[in-house]
């Protein structure tokens, strides 16, 4: 599209069609509201949006042919950059393919802005091609939904701009995805003569000569005054648990405030793999496994109050411990305005960041720990080190937690649980992320790629074979990575987590209907998508392959293991820990 006679803000006065006028206004306003990245899939009906995005000098455009992967790539970019990301798709089932990513964005409070192209209303329910009812297609999984009318010169441009301003403000107050359904009548493509939109744009006045949004919506989050409540709370024996905490742009160590508070109070710290302080020396690193130990659990149960930062804990044993305790009081600190209280224990819910919460507290002199958990947990750590010397999923995950650099994205199902159990304290920080909103196994490779787009350090993703098969198309994205990217696939030939769940095991029920072995390997997939490949068969070989992969390029490392092995290893380790208790 040929554009001329730009305003001083960069908005063209001449456009291909009136559809393109609205599309340009939308992309410019979203840029002013903080959007810097746009992800796009190919399509005809979305041409006005695609062309406007491609011609905007301030926007970075990322493309993918698969809308399901596209949505998760946007999710990764938004989480990594901590900025809203716009997603552009054409009409029909292309929009529906975004559903899993939109669900995950809602649960994690990630600011996606879905711009779905659509047919005008007269082309619905009459057999028109590629036309489905897209109105509120994501139902209750969006923070805001707007079904825009087709662009019309009788509708003020200010309506469009203020609609976006209000939607993004609502998104800031209640983080999550926005859906803007954009109806376009033909023509969708440039003709021989561009139209002059000067008269239509003129009422925007100063907006055309500034870089500010059309309307200013301001909001603030104030931490409620705690008065004497904190003094009463802090004088008791307490426990600090840290769940999912992601570093903010203005403070890269949010969860570190929880660590410092635990030192000050003398309270034990149990940090989830998603906390960013999982490998901090003050964290009781193998608490999940140590909960097998009756003496560790009994000592932990002496805590009277619980202070939790961040929700969505991976450890089922810890969640069960929390649910069963007769707490005097439970406080939960998380910036998302969600309940995040699956067992209904929370008595006080504070919607703020750890930094804001701790900043509002009075300072105390550092107290001595009230517990003896460190020495009890150490016994478990020694057993973990002994068990993790063999080549297995357990051994590889334990080693990967030590070797990983930059950022680590962990898949759901077994990898999340293994990485949460294993590893040891490390000096070099490691950013760890996961899609633990809906905890699905779809879109994991695309999410990790999106995260890698925002990071100047290497990115590693560890996931299971079934998860990798779910998102195989997204391997096509990885060749574009500008930093080293390593994909570690734990291939146990199907859903081996079902060996550890009480599913029916009679006859072929477990194998055929739950685990579903596939007999596939990933060497040819790596070759098809132009990725480096390695299949180590020992921990030393894995260490060498991974270290080399961190140097440059994109590498797929496949860890082939027996399907029953991980279940047996974890069962044996649990029995050893419980046996250690009985023997002493």
The pLDDT score that the predictor gives to residue 3 is: 42
Band the pLDDT of 226: cuts 50, 70, 90.
confident
61 close to 35: Cβ distance less than 8 angstroms? no
Q: CA-CA distance, 168 to 165, in Å (whole number)?
A: 5
| Confidence check: pLDDT of 125 > 60 | yes
Q: What mean pLDDT, rounded, does the chain reach? A: 93
69 close to 446: Cβ distance less than 8 angstroms? yes
Token digits for 330? Answer: 């439970």
Residue-wise DSSP of 71-101: HHHHHHHHHHHTS-EEEEE-STHHHHTTHHH
The pLDDT score that the predictor gives to residue 252 is: 59
Tell me the three state secondary structure of residue 498.
helix
* Structure confidence by residue, pLDDT tens digits, 519-559: 999 999 999 999 999 999 999 999 999 999 999 899 999 99
Look up the pTM and report it: 0.94
Query: Percentage of the chain with pLDDT > 90?
Result: 85
| Start-to-end CA span in the chain (Å) | 78
The pLDDT score that the predictor gives to residue 578 is: 93
**CA-closest candidate to residue 238, choices 329, 172, 154:** 329
Q: Please give the average per-residue pLDDT across 253-271, as a whole number.
A: 96
**CA-closest candidate to residue 30, choices 254, 211, 209:** 211
222 vs 143, residue with greater confidence: 143
The pLDDT score that the predictor gives to residue 501 is: 87
176 close to 142: Cβ distance less than 8 angstroms? yes
| Confidence check: pLDDT of 400 > 70 | yes
Token digits for 577? Answer: 């820990």
CA atoms lying within 13 Å on the CB side of residue 400: 35
The pLDDT score that the predictor gives to residue 219 is: 60
Q: CA-CA distance, 178 to 63, in Å (whole number)?
A: 20
* Structure confidence by residue, pLDDT tens digits, 292-347: 999 999 999 999 999 999 999 999 999 999 999 999 999 999 999 999 999 999 99
CATH homologous superfamily of domain 14-209? Thiamin diphosphate (ThDP)-binding fold, Pyr/PP domains (3.40.50.970)
Q: Please give the average per-residue pLDDT across 204-232, as a whole number.
A: 83
Band the pLDDT of 4: cuts 50, 70, 90.
very low
* Structure confidence by residue, pLDDT tens digits, 180-197: 999 999 999 998 888 899
Correct CATH for 232-372 of 3.30.1360.200, 3.40.50.1220, 1.20.1050.10, 3.20.20.150 = 3.40.50.1220
Query: Percentage of the chain with pLDDT > 70?
Result: 96
The pLDDT score that the predictor gives to residue 2 is: 40
* Structure confidence by residue, pLDDT tens digits, 129-149: 889 999 999 999 999 999 999
Residue found by looking up tokens 């100047």 in the block: 456
Q: CA-CA distance, 120 to 541, in Å (whole number)?
A: 58
Segments in 483-558 forming alpha helices (H) = 523-528, 539-549
Tell me the three state secondary structure of residue 231.
helix
| Confidence check: pLDDT of 580 > 60 | no
| Confidence check: pLDDT of 1 > 50 | no
Q: Please give the average per-residue pLDDT across 348-365, as a whole number.
A: 89
Domain with CATH 3.40.50.970 in the chain: 14-209, 388-581
Radius of gyration of the chain (CA): 26
The pLDDT score that the predictor gives to residue 438 is: 96
Bond before 187 cis per omega within 30 degrees: yes
The pLDDT score that the predictor gives to residue 306 is: 98
* Structure confidence by residue, pLDDT tens digits, 140-180: 999 999 999 999 999 999 999 999 999 999 999 999 999 99
Fold of the 388-581 domain: Rossmann fold (3.40.50)
* Structure confidence by residue, pLDDT tens digits, 465-521: 999 999 999 999 999 999 999 999 999 999 888 888 888 887 788 988 889 999 999
């Amino acid at each position: 599209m040929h554009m001329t006679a730009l305003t001083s803000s960069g908005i063209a006065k001449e456009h291909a069609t009136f559809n393109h006028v609205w599309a340009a206004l939308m992309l410019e306003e979203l840029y002013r509201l903080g959007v810097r990245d746009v992800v796009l899939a190919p399509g005809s009906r979305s041409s006005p949006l695609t062309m406007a995005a491609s011609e905007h000098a301030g926007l970075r455009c990322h493309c993918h042919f698969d809308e399901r992967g596209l949505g998760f790539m946007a999710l990764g970019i938004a989480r990594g950059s901590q900025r809203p990301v716009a997603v552009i798709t054409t009409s029909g089932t292309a929009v529906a393919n975004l559903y899993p990513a939109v669900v995950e964005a809602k649960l994690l409070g990630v600011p996606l802005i879905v711009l779905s192209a659509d047919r005008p209303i007269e082309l619905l329910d009459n057999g028109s091609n590629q036309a489905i009812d897209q109105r509120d297609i994501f139902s209750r999984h969006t923070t805001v939904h707007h079904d825009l009318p087709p662009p019309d010169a009788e509708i003020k441009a200010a309506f469009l701009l203020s609609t976006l301003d209000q939607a993004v403000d609502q998104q800031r107050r209640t983080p999550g995805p926005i859906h803007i359904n954009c109806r376009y009548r033909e023509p969708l493509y440039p003709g021989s003569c561009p139209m002059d939109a000067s008269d239509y744009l003129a009422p925007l006045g100063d907006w055309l000569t500034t870089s500010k949004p059309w309307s200013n919506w301001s909001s603030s989050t104030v931490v409620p005054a705690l008065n004497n409540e904190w003094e009463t709370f802090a004088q008791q024996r307490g426990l600090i648990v840290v769940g999912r905490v992601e570093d903010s742009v203005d403070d890269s160590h949010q969860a570190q405030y929880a660590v410092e508070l635990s030192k000050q109070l003398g309270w034990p710290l149990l940090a989830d793999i998603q906390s960013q302080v999982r490998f901090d020396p003050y964290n009781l690193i193998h608490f999940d496994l140590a909960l097998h130990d009756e003496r560790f659990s009994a000592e932990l149960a002496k805590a009277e109050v619980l202070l939790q930062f961040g929700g969505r804990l991976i450890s089922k044993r810890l969640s069960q411990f929390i649910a069963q305790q007769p707490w005097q009081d439970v406080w939960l600190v998380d910036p998302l305005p969600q309940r995040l209280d699956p067992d209904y224990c929370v008595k006080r819910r504070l919607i703020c960041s750890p930094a804001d919460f701790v900043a509002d507290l009075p300072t105390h002199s550092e107290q001595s720990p009230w517990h003896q958990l460190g020495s009890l947990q150490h016994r478990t750590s020694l057993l973990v080190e002994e068990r993790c010397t063999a080549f297995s999923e357990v051994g590889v995950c334990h080693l990967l937690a030590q070797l990983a650099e930059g950022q680590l994205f962990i898949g759901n199902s077994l990898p999340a649980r293994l990485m949460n159990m294993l590893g040891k304290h490390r000096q070099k920080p490691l950013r760890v992320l996961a899609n633990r909103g809906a905890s699905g196994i779809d879109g994991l490779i695309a999410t990790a790629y999106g995260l890698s787009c925002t990071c100047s350090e290497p990115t590693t993703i560890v996931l299971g074979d079934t998860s990798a098969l779910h998102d195989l198309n997204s391997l096509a994205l990885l060749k574009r990575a500008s930093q080293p990217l390593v994909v570690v696939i734990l291939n146990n030939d199907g859903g081996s987590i079902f060996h550890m769940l009480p599913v029916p095991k009679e006859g072929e029920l477990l194998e055929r209907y739950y685990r579903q072995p596939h007999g596939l390997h990933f060497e040819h997939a790596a070759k098809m998508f132009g990725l480096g490949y390695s299949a180590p068969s020992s921990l030393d070989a894995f260490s060498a392959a991974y270290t080399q992969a961190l140097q440059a390029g994109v590498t797929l490392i496949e860890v082939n293991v027996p399907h029953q092995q991980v279940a047996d290893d974890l069962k044996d380790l649990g029995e050893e820990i419980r046996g250690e208790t009985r023997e002493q």
